[in-house]
Amino acid sequence: MNVRRWSALTKRELLKIVRNPPAIATSLMLPILYLILFGQGFNFTSSLNSLPPAQQTVELHHLLLGAPDYFSYFAAGMVGFVGVTATLFLGANVIFDKLFGTLKRTTESPATALDIFGSRIVAGSIQPVGLAFLVLGLAIVLGDVGLAGLHVTAAVTAVGVVEVVAAILLLSLMFASLFLSLGFTIEQPQTYFALVNAINLPVLLTSAALYPWGAMPGWLQGIASYNPVTLAVEVIRIALFGGTYYPYSAGVYLLGLIGWAVAMFAITTYLIGRALAPKS
Amino acid sequence: MADAIVAEGLSKTFNGSLKAVDTVSFSVKEGEVFGFLGPNGAGKTTTLSMLTAILGPTAGRATVDGLDVVRHPHELKQRIGLVFQESTADPDLTGRENLEMAAALFGVPLRDTARRVNELLERLALVDSADRLVKTYSGGMRRRLELAVGMIHSPRVLFLDEPTLGLDPQGRAGFWKIVSDLRKETGMTVFLTTHYLDEADTVCERVAIIDHGHIVATGTPSELKDRLGGDIVTVRPMGNLEALAPALKGLPGVTSVTVQDGTLRVKCPSGDTLIPKVVGAATDRGISLAGVSLRRPSLDEVFLEFTGREFREDEGPSATDHAVQLNRIQSARRGRR
């Protein structure tokens, strides 16, 4: 690994992001639309208002693990969603760089495979962190304009913020590795997008990003417990709503995320190393 | 003078059956400009890819600047410069940013980077457009930027793969003038592939002609042209080719007559004075002529001499295109099973 090469290649990736405002707008548009159209429409917890207050609280805690309402629960889940979707473009960029010939300049230089994809992971993981805080900020603001909004019920600490940032970074790193390994091994953009859609949807639908935990069937809870998106949103929900209803601390969920990120990074290192080796 | 590039029995087979390069051997002296000539699909780029550690050879060995291309690919890439056929500069970065990134990739010390980048921008007449995005560059500017990127780390050996493809004659001349000046200043070795034989003739000190994966001739452009034995008069009789051939062989100064695609290729020291005699000989035998043309010795003629075909006739898909095509056919077959 060479720090100068990493920083030069990371700078290149960041410049490409900054110089493409339509792509930034598009990546912002998706979570905004979800918050406004999906989050507001599915904010079913208002229907619990008819229950006696004590029963209402028990029901909510069972369903949403301490979140005060579905929109707040969902807004934290959207951060996990952003961690996945904001890294999608990384693999697509590699395929287009291959098609246009620009990847050749780096792959046929003394830069190692680790320099080449590591720098793309670093650049690609920065954007989701920024987007995540924008999503949380917007979710809070929506509550001030007469719509359902994010209500933070726990005292947010500096440690909690660091844990949230770490969770988003680890989740982004994991999915950035996955999408980059696809980008380096697949030649056609059509194949890439088909595969990414086939991965994305099951990953999100088997996580606790969108579904109320208490409403999930037991088998789905079993799968969701190990899903990296669930692990990340649990760290975020603990920071925003407290950890009373969670069996483990945020640190344990972060360890699970580290395991996922390290495993995916190792697989990616192997696959991309093979893809960039001189052709025999 | 030591050899900068040595290839011994270098071969490359794609998909187990398509032999793109077949037992190629040659050497290039330090500081020499060496041209690898041949039509598309002849094996030029495949050979260059093996010499630059992009492709592993199927057989044989090669060294560049004393490094074995298979055993030391990483060190090799630090010592060579490479200019590809296509533009590899990032269109979303400026020319200067592309050069700065290349400097970091090729290990130019940070304290020297700005000086080196400015020096190359100036040499390659890119100063005024240095801070513009590359996507706004013309074809000629992109080619010059590619050369600057290839030169950023002052390589000992510079590989140029069809570097002037798509440029107009003025752009090509300008490009070669810069390469020639840089080579004189630095003493680097230049290995280039091209199918523009005229530019190889003026730029290269030595050339190898490759056809169907085999080297068919090596030497300086003058040596190769000398081997033709002078001018070539091409005679196209209207029938009765065989009757005219012995008559032409007997004309004074004629060194050889060969039959090729319905024409007679007549070699002689001076074509100008031979043409009236050729017309006379044909008239004496009652043979009408459809045409007579005179060609001075050129690398096109050299190619024709050694391969038996006109150079342009054989342009076709490259070996890589063949390999991709073969892969598709094999995949389709597997899919049907």
pLDDT in tens, A18-69: 898 888 888 888 888 999 888 888 877 666 777 787 787 788 888 888 898 8
Residues of B with CB under 8 A from a CB of A: 52-56, 73-74, 77-78, 82, 84, 86-93, 97, 100-102, 104-107, 110, 133, 149
Q: Would you place residue A263 in the very low, low, confident or very high pLDDT band (cuts 50, 70, 90)? A: very high
Handedness of CA A28, A34, A40, A46 (dihedral sign): negative
Give how far A177 is from chain B: nearest CA, Å.
22
pTM of the model: 0.81
A9, A110, A278 member nearest B106 (Cβ): A110
Torsion angle in degrees (nearest 10) through CA of B244, B245, B249, B251: 20
Query: For residue B334, with 0-12 CB atoms within 10 Å meaning exposed, 13-18 middle and 19 or more buried, which class applies?
Result: exposed
Q: Which residues of B touch A10 (CB under 8 A)?
A: none
Q: Which residues of B touch A2 (CB under 8 A)?
A: 107
Residue of B nearest to A109 (CA): B77
- Given the candidates 3.40.50.300, 3.30.930.10, 3.30.2040.10, 3.40.190.80, the CATH classification of the domain at B3-224 is 3.40.50.300
Whether A73 and A111 have beta carbons less than 8 Å apart is answered as: no
Residue of B nearest to A104 (CA): B88
The token pair at A148 is 């359902």
| 3-state SS assignment for residue A98 | helix
Domain B229-296: give its CATH code: 3.30.70.100
Give the range among A36-40, A76-80, A92-96, A141-145 with minimum mean pLDDT.
A36-40
Mutual angle of helices A3-18 and A113-144, in 10-degree steps: 40
Of B257, B261, B265, nearest to B235 by C-alpha is: B265
Residue of B nearest to A2 (CA): B105
Residues A178-206: what's their mean pLDDT? Answer: 93
Q: Which residues of B touch A8 (CB under 8 A)?
A: 100-101, 104-105
- CA atoms of B211 and B54, how far apart (whole Å): 21
Mean pLDDT of chain A: 90
Q: Which residues of B touch A11 (CB under 8 A)?
A: 101
Q: Which residues of A touch B78 (CB under 8 A)?
A: 110
Q: Would you place residue B205 in the very low, low, confident or very high pLDDT band (cuts 50, 70, 90)? A: very high
Give how far A110 is from chain B: nearest CA, Å.
5
- Taking the CA of residue A234 as centre, how many other CA atoms within 13 Å lie in the half-sphere pointing to its CB? 27
CB A108 to CB B77 under 8 A?
yes
**For chain A, how many helices (H) and strands (E)?**
13, 0
Give how far B176 is from chain A: nearest CA, Å.
22
> What ipTM does the predicted assembly reach?
0.83
Domain range list for chain B: 3-224, 229-296
pLDDT for res B68: 96
Q: Which residues of A touch B89 (CB under 8 A)?
A: 102, 105
The token pair at B290 is 């459809």
- CA atoms of B173 and B152, how far apart (whole Å): 22
Is residue B266 pLDDT above 60, yes or no? Answer: yes
- CA atoms of B64 and B51, how far apart (whole Å): 7
CB B74 to CB A102 under 8 A?
no
Residue of A nearest to B14 (CA): A280
- Which has the higher per-residue pLDDT, B165 or B332? B165
Backbone angles phi, psi at B107, to 5 degrees: 75, 30
Q: Which residues of A touch B83 (CB under 8 A)?
A: none
Of B128, B135, B103, B105, nearest to B117 by C-alpha is: B103
Residue of B nearest to A115 (CA): B105
Residues of A with CB under 8 A from a CB of B: 2, 4-5, 7-9, 11-12, 15-16, 19-20, 100-102, 104-106, 108-112, 278-280
Strands B263-268 and B206-211: unpaired
Residues B238-247 have pLDDT tens digits of: 877 788 888 8
Is residue B337 pLDDT above 50, yes or no? Answer: no
Query: For residue B245, with 0-12 CB atoms within 10 Å meaning exposed, 13-18 middle and 19 or more buried, which class applies?
Result: middle
pLDDT for res A61: 81
